[in-house]
Amino acid sequence: MEKEIPYQHSRKSEQFRQLLLQNRKASDRMMNYFLAAYFTGGLLLSFFYDTWLIALGVGSLSLLAYYAARLLLPESNAYQYVLGVVLGIFMAQYIYQMHGMFEMHFVAFISSAVLITYQNWKLQIPLTIVVVVHHAAFSYLQFAGVDKMYFTVFPYMELGTFVIHILLACAIFFICGLWAYQFNRVRTAHMEQTFQLGLLQEKERHTAEERKTQERVMQSEANLRAVVNNTDVAFFLLDTTYKIVSFNENASALSLRIHNRPMVIGSDYLDYIADNRKNLVLATVERVANREILKYQVCYPHFHTAEKIWVQVSMYPVIDERQQFIGMSISMTDISESKRLQEQVAIERALKQEQITEAVFAAQEKERSELGRELHDNVNQLLAASALYMQTARTAEDDSDLLLATSISYTQTAIEEIRTLAKKIVTPRLNDFGLMNSLRGLAEDIMAVHEIQIRFTNVNMEEDDFDEKFKLNLFRIVQEQINNALKYAKAKNIEVRFAIKDNHLNLFTTDDGVGFQPKQRKKGVGLTNMISRAELYKGEFTIDSAPGQGCYISVRFPLQGLQQTNQIKLYADYN
């Protein structure tokens, strides 16, 4: 309260000064009209005794004296005292102009009443002095016989009458001064009441605002507590001595799971830490005390079970407005489930890699078996027959030329079979011939020996946008699907379509074979191989088939992120 008194006093003084200034300006404006009336009155009285020089000279000098004081001393009220003198001079001027007319003496009373507007009783003093001096001097001069001295129309006035006249005039001046004093007291009291009322209203407004502010603060604190307590994060505050200042329910619950004791405000945080970890934790909090922000993960054993509790810890220094360290905030998030999911994903990824490797080895064994069977059942028989005809041609005299020609035919057929086998197992040079040309070449070789039609369609796919390894992967997927359609589906027509749509490369293959039930049929090596190749580039592999309905396969590759991986290299090296 002591600090508010000087402020209120200064504010009160300023408010009073402004009100007084407003009243003074209003009185000054009103006085302008009175002075104009006084000067005009002097001019009108000049008609009676031809006193124009007096009216103009004395009146002008009086106005000049008043307005000069008012302009030269704007911050002072000295001009008001000059006004009292000027009004007294106007009274003397009127008496003189009317040759001592008794009624002109009443102008002094009018002037005294006019001065009440300033509510300053002291202004009656200069007016009283001028009136007394004028009456004394001019009455003496007139009764002494001095020419053209006018005080009264009476030829003679006794001293007692004069004294009574002066006393009555002073009494009127006193009463007007008393009124001015009373008006000033009432005005001051009214301003005081207005000021106090304003203070009360302001205090009430401030009280209401403080009440609203407190309510908002309380609501904000309640909201903050609700947010802190309803979050999954364990949160607590430490002071500069590492004592617990505040914590939420999750922090206490996590402490119970890890340390087998709930948190307590005022307890030492280091008391919750196991002895074998205290030095490490102490070094950590000291780094935060040095205004370092720390984030790390730590694994705790559950106090009651063998379960591992993984926690993401974030530690922040708390700084006040003077940039002084006053504590630290620590948040802990239980990421055990996330860690378990990561481990599960890692296991699934390793299992997937194992499946891919098995598919690669199975594909190798499959092609080796097929190659061996082709060499044994076909090429080997052709070469054996060729050798038999050549041996027979040695002993035969008449048919040796025919036998040699037959042997050469078998040998050429064996060469063609070996070339066909080489095309199947040798990696095509896609950068030289292009993906679509290589697929069409594959289709022509197949259609030459099988009763089947294979058609290819390319919708806005630019082969140059993809590297050779990815195009080789597409080639092997299509090759595998065509082989499956030939061996198992007994298809007569196969359609292969490439299309770019919705930031994906789409590969569609359709055949009119016997079809199958995807959910009931076990995935073979070929199908597993195609799915694995698609997943290497984050492709989505979809099969739609039914008995007697043929087979429809869709593979969608996202265009973004088609990059070389170690798994792709494995397939490229194998093929």
Q: Which residue has the higher pLDDT, 568 or 166?
A: 166
| pLDDT value, residue 143 | 85
| Lowest mean per-residue pLDDT among 32-36, 112-116, 255-259, 309-313 | 255-259
pTM, whole model, 2 decimals? 0.41
Tell me how far apart the alpha carbons of residues 295 and 314 are, in angstroms, rounded to a whole number. 5
312, pLDDT greater than 70: yes
CA-based nearest residue to 332, from 267, 266, 248: 248
Taking CA atoms, 495 is separated from 321, 462, 490, in Å, by 74, 19, 14
Number of H helices, E strands in the chain: 16, 10
Tell me how far apart the alpha carbons of residues 512 and 514 are, in angstroms, rounded to a whole number. 7
Q: What is the arithmetic mean of pLDDT over 516-521?
A: 75
If one counts every other C-beta atom within 10 angstroms of the C-beta of residue 26, the result is: 11
- The pLDDT confidence band at residue 563, using thresholds 50, 70 and 90, is very low
Q: Decide: 489 and 546 in contact? Cβ < 8 Å.
A: no
Fold topology of 428-575: Heat Shock Protein 90 (3.30.565)
Tell me how far apart the alpha carbons of residues 573 and 521 are, in angstroms, rounded to a whole number. 31
| pLDDT value, residue 225 | 67
Percent of the chain past pLDDT 70, that is, above it, reads 82
The residue ranges of DSSP E strands in 68-223, in sequence order, are none
Which residue ranges make up each domain of the chain? 4-200, 232-334, 343-426, 428-575
Does the 232-334 domain belong in CATH 3.30.70.2190?
no
| pLDDT value, residue 438 | 85
Q: What is the arithmetic mean of pLDDT over 21-49?
A: 92
- The pLDDT confidence band at residue 574, using thresholds 50, 70 and 90, is very low
Task: Provide the 8-state DSSP code for 376.
Answer: I
Q: Which residue has the higher pLDDT, 170 or 405?
A: 170
Percent of the chain past pLDDT 90, that is, above it, reads 25
| pLDDT value, residue 568 | 40
